[in-house]
Amino acid sequence: MDLSEFLMMEHSDIRIMVNTGFLNEINNFKSFSDFLIVDHINIEEKIYFPVIIDNDWEDKQEFQKIVERVKNDHKLLETLAKNLISWKENGNENLFNLRLPLFYKTLKDHNNYEEDHIFSRWISLENSTRQDAMDDALLIVQELDDKYMVFSGISSNFRQYIKNHNF
């Protein structure tokens, strides 16, 4: 499993959580927001994006603009999540309920955009580069330990397997 596959697996888990309504409960939403920012966005911005934009793409300038757009989406998603939490905790149930679908739509569209315009390029990178990036990502995931399993379904044993059998 490489890092693109790993991130797309997280996207799949996110879709399931959104579609089942699991995140409609505020404590689940707060924990998910932490997972999204501390794990998923952190891995993309600190590991994945720097590696992939460093490659000598034929359309490098245009590709950098695509990645910047995605990074701006991350800021928007983080702001929306913080606002949703604040609204719910301050008793503004109507605003929370009104804006939660916007958060879900933004997140879904964002993840689809990443998969369509960024993740497919990963396979073009050298194997050693991809493996090093995956190893770095697993270090971030390891810090979350059991909290990570709640949102990804990936146990520490499976993470160890991925680390030992990285292709």
User: Which pLDDT band, with edges at 50, 70 and 90, does 17 fall under?
Assistant: confident
CB-side neighbour CA atoms (13 Å) of 72: 6
Q: What is the pLDDT of residues 35-59, one digit of tens each?
A: 899 889 999 999 999 999 999 999 9
Each domain of the chain, given as residue ranges in start order, spans 3-164
Measured distance CA(12)–CA(24) in Å, rounded? 18
Q: What is the pLDDT of residues 89-111, one digit of tens each?
A: 999 999 999 999 999 999 999 99
